[in-house]
Structure 1
Amino acid sequence: MTHQAFPRRAWIRRILLAVAAGLLASTVLAAPASAHGAVSDPIARHYGCYQRWPNGPSAQTATEDPMCHQAWQANPGAMWNWNGLLRDGVGGDHQSAVPDGQLCSGGMTANGRYAAFDEPGQWKTVDRPNRFTLNLYDQSSHGADYIHVYVTKQGFDPTTQRPRWSDLELAGQVTNVPTGTTTPVEVNAPGRTGHHIVYTVWQASHLDQSYYFCSDVNFTGGGPTPTPTATPTTQPTPTTSPTGNPNAGCSATYRVISQWSGGFQAEVRVTATSTAITTWTVSWALTSGERVNSAWGATVTTTGTTVSARNAAYNGSLGAGTSTTFGFIGSGTSSTPALTCTTP
C-alpha cells in the first residue's frame, strides 16, 4: 500500500493521534499507582517490544521484529504502559476473567490496549533449557499472594495459534512472596522443544490485582535440577567463568538476556562457594559507551567505569552451592566483563 492510498489529512490525523497517545501514556506512567511490573526474563512480549524499540516502529522494526512492529502500530500505549497489563477484582477466577484466545492481552484489558499481543506469529524468542529460572520485575515492590507459571504443551504452535487455558500446564509457582524488586520462580517444563509460550499469572498482594504475561521461549532441552528451596540453582554453560579469589566465598557469571539497537538486558548469577554467605558484592568494569540504566535484585552503583552491585535485603543469604540472580538494563553494546564477587 502506498501513501497515495490515504489522503494527506488522514495521515496528519494518524500522526496527531499517535503523539496524543504518547503524551497520555507518559502522564499515566508518571502516577505512582501505575508503576507495576512485568516478567523481565524471559521477557514478556509487551515489555520486550518496549525495551528493544523504545523509539517506536521503523523500517528496522518491520524487518527485524515484525510482530513488535505490528504491536507498536496497533497501540503505542501498550508499550508505554508496559507495567499496566492487569485486571482488578478478579478474585482468583482467572479463567473467567481472561477468555481463551485472549490470554496475552489479559482478556482484552484496558479496552483492548494489548490486543496485538494475542496475535500468533514469529515473536522473538530466547533460548532456555527445560529447567530454568523465571524472573518477575516487581517495579513497585507489591509482592505476591502467588505467581503461577504455565508453559504450552508440546505440539502447540505460537506462530499459528492463540493459547487457550487447556493448552497450558503448570510448570512453576511461588506463594506469599515478600515485597522486592525481583522475584525468581523455578520453572520445569520437561518434554518441550522449540517455540513455546511461557504464561505467568501474578496475583499482587497489595490489592486484588492480577497481571498476565506471555513470554516466548525456544526450549533447547536439559537444564539443572532445581533445589527444593526458592533459591535459583546454577545454570550450565555461563557466558563468563567465575573470576576473582576462589576462596572469597562467592562466584558470579554473566549473560545477556536480550539486545536491541542501543541497549541490552543482562543477568548476573551469584553463587555461594564452599560455605554459606550472608552478603555479596559483584564488581566489573564498563567498556566505552556502556552504562547501567536500571537494575533489580541488587543495589547498583557506578563510580567512573566501575560498577558495584550489592545484594538486596532478600537475596544476600545463600547456602553453600546455591545461587541467586540480579538483572539490569544497559545502554550501548554489552561486553563480556570479568566479574569479581566478594563477601565483605
Structure 2
Amino acid sequence: MRVPARPGALLRVSAVLGACLALLTTLLVTFGAGTASAHGAVSDPPARQYACYHRWPNGPTQQMATEDPMCYKAWQTDSSAMYNWNGLFREGVAGRHESVIPDGQLCSAGLAHNGRYGAFDEPGNWKTVDRPAQFTLNLHDQSSHGADYMRVYATRQGFDPKTQKLRWSDLELVGQTGRIATGSTTPVQVNAPGRTGHHVLYTVWQASHLDQSYYFCSDVNFTGGGQTTTTTTTTTTTSTTTTTTTDAPPRGCSATLRTTSQWNGGFQAEVRVTAGSAAVSGWAVTWTFANGERINSIWSAAATTSGTSVTARNVNYNGSLGAGASTTFGFVASGTLGTPSLTCTAS
C-alpha cells in the first residue's frame, strides 16, 4: 500500500531544492561576471577609470574631492565603473567604430553597459601625466586576449579637454599595431609631435578572442622636448652648402617609483623608466630598501637582490625605447615602502 508523503516533508524537500538552485544561480552569476569583467585597460598613461580606481582604491574621500575632483564625481556617479575598470567594451562592432560610438560618448564607448562609464565623457580638469612627443603606451591585457590591432589617437592642438567633449574629428592617429599575441602588457609606440599641454589619448583595442572592441581615454600633458637641431649655411661665390647637425646627448634614462596600492603588511608599486634624448636598447634600475621590504612578485622586469639592494632589468619586449619613450614595470612587496632613491642605467 502506498503511503502518502507528509506535507511537512514535501515542504522541507522543496526548501532544500530551492536553496540548492539559488546557490547554483549565485555561483553561475558570480563566476560568469568575474570571467566577463577580467579583460584589461590602458595602464600607462592610465585610462580614466583605471586611474581613478588605482589612485583611490578605497573610494571617494574628501581628499579625493580636493585633489582629484573629476575622479570624485565619477566615483559618486557609478562606483562600479571603477571596480569594473577592465570592462569598458562593446561587442559586435565589426570595425565600425566611428559609426557605432557617437561623438561626445567616446570615453564611455557609447554609454556602454547602460551608461556605467558615462562620467568619463565629461570635460573637466582630469589629472594628467607628463609625456614627450614620442613614448610607449602600455595596455594591461589582464586575460592575455591579444589584439587583432590597436590604434592610438591624440587630440589635435587647440582641443580643450576641460571644456569640450571628445569627437572623432578632434582626433589624429598617432600609433597603431597589427595583430599581437600578447602577454600581460602590450606596448604601442606613440609619435604625437606638435602638441603641448593637456591632451586626450584615445585607444581602440580590438581584442582577438571575440569581436570585442575596447575604448579608453587617457589624459596626458605633452611636454615637448626632443633633440636640438642646428643648421649652418656656408655661402661661396659658386655654391651654397648647408650642413645640419643634431645634438645627441649621451645615452641615458631616468626612473620614478610610485605606490599604486597598499595594505597592512604589503604594497604594490609601479616604476616608470624613461629614455633620455637618445634611444636605448636596454636598461637597469637599482635601488635600496631601507625598511626591510621584500619583493614577492614582479612583472615586466627581471629582478635580482643582494641584501637590501634591488636591480630590475628589462625583459625582451621592453628594453628598446625611443628617445623620450617610457615603459613601466611593477611589483608586489611585503613591508612598508620608504622613499628609495632610484638609479637608471641604459645600454
- Asked if these proteins are the same fold (TM beyond 0.5), I'd say yes
How far off is 1:206 after superposition? 1.5
1:132-281 equivalences under 5 Å are: 132-223=135-226, 253-256=254-257, 265-268=270-273
Distance 1:152 1:181, change over 3 A: same
Q: 1:96 to 1:205 in 2, by over 3 A?
A: same
Partner amino acid for 1:185?
V
Q: Is this contact kept in 1: 2:301–2:312, CA < 8 A?
A: yes
The Cα shift of 1:130 comes to 1.4
Equivalence map 1:61-140=2 (5 Å): 61-140=64-143
Report the Cα offset of residue 298 of structure 1. Answer: 3.0
CA distance in 1, matches of 2:45, 2:331: 14
Q: How many residues align?
A: 293
> Structure 2 length as normaliser, TM-score?
0.71
Identity %: 60
Structure 1 residues 58, 322: closer, same or farther in 2, change over 3 A?
Answer: closer
CA shift digits 1:159-214 (9 cap, x unpaired): 00110000000001111112211122111111111111011111111111111110
**Consecutive unaligned residues in structure 2, runs of 5 or more:** 1-28, 229-247
Which residue of structure 1 lines up, in the alignment, with residue 3 of structure 2?
Answer: none
CA distance in 2, matches of 1:60, 1:237: 41
Aligned to 1:328: 330
The reply to whether residue 49 of structure 1 matches residue 52 of structure 2 is: yes
The one-letter code sitting in structure 2 at the alignment partner of 1:100 is D
CA distance in 1, matches of 2:284, 2:195: 36
1:37 aligns to 2:63 (yes or no) = no
Whose Rg is larger? 2
Tell me, yes or no, if the aligned pair for 2:201 and 2:218 is still in contact at 8 Å.
yes
Q: Which amino acid aligns with 2:145?
A: H
SS at match of 1:117: helix
Q: Does 1:60 align with 2:63?
A: yes
Over 3 Å counting, the alpha-carbon distance change for 1:71 and 1:263 in structure 2 is farther
Q: Secondary structure at the match of 1:212?
A: strand
- Judge which range, 120-129 or 137-146, deviates more: 137-146
User: Would the alpha carbon gap of residues 90 and 46 (structure 1) be closer, same or farther in structure 2, given more than 3 Å must change?
Assistant: same
* 5+ residue gaps, structure 1: 1-25, 226-235, 243-251
Q: 1:254–1:336: 8 Å Cα contact kept in structure 2?
A: no
Code of the aligned partner of 1:267:
R
Distance between the aligned counterparts of 1:47 and 1:142, measured in 2?
A: 18
The answer as to whether partners of 2:135 and 2:326 remain within 8 angstroms in 1 is no
Letter of the aligned partner of 2:154 in structure 1? Answer: V
Q: 1:123 to 1:324 in 2, by over 3 A?
A: closer
* Alpha-carbon shift at residue 268 of structure 1 (Å): 3.3
Question: What root-mean-square deviation, in Å, do the aligned CA atoms of Structure 1 and Structure 2 show?
Answer: 4.0
Q: Is the 1:138–1:180 contact (alpha carbons within 8 Å) kept by the matching residues of 2? A: yes
Asked if 1 retains the 8 angstrom alpha-carbon contact of 2:134 and 2:324, the reply is no
User: What is the TM-score when the length of structure 1 is the normalising length?
Assistant: 0.71
State the secondary structure of the residue aligned to 2:52: helix
